[in-house]
Amino acid sequence: MRISVTDTNGTQHDIEAKEGDKAMEAIRDSGLTIAALCGGCCSCATCHVYVSDDWADKLPPRSEDEEALLELVAELRPASRLSCQIIMEPAFDGIELELSSDTNL
């Protein structure tokens, strides 16, 4: 399946993801820059993305941990998510994510 990723320069990329992948891993493995300092264990907030309006409601709600870590981000929006907490499944094929400034290295 595909993820549409807009990087922090505003460039859009179509990347490949497998079922069960964390979106963060798919983004990282595609070669795009995503700090993901803690390696995806929901301990930092450096994989913070914005989910497009069309997709935000389709994701499962944020966990308590994710909710807490989002307190640390530079610019919190209603569509803010940690991409290490988005586990890809067929229903998310084509999901649109925008990398936040927190993901910069």
Partner 1 sequence: MSTEIERIVIAGAGQAGVQAALSLRIEGFTGKIALVGDEAFLPYQRPPLSKAYLKGNVTRDALQIAKPALLAERNIDLHLGEVVSSIDREKKCLLLAEGKALSYDRLILATGTRSRPLSIPGANLPGVVMLRTVTDADCLARLLGGARQIAIIGGGFIGLEFAAVARELDKQVTVIEASSRVMMRAVSPEISNFFEKTHRDKGATVICNEGVSEIVSENNQLKGIRLASGKEFPADLVMIGVGALPNCGIAEAAGLAVEDGILVNDALQTSDSHIFAIGDCCRVRADGGRHLTRIESVQNATDQGRHAAYVIMKAPSPYQAVPWFWSDQYEYKLQMAGLISEADTQIIKGSPADGKFSVFSFKSGIFIGSESVNSPLDHVLTRKALNENIALSPDYLSDATVSIKQAIEAATAT
Write down the least CB distance from residue 24 to partner 1, Å. Answer: 10
- Report how many helices (DSSP H) and strands (DSSP E) the chain contains, helices first: 3, 5
74 binds partner 1 (CB under 8 A): no
**Rounded Cα distance, 17 and 77, in Å:** 25
Q: How far is the CB of 31 from partner 1 (least distance, A)?
A: 5
For the chain, the straight-line distance linking the first and the last C-alpha, in angstroms and rounded, comes to: 27
The reply on whether position 33 binds partner 1 by CB under 8 A is yes
Which residues 38-57 are close enough to bind partner 1 by CB under 8 A? 38-39, 41-43
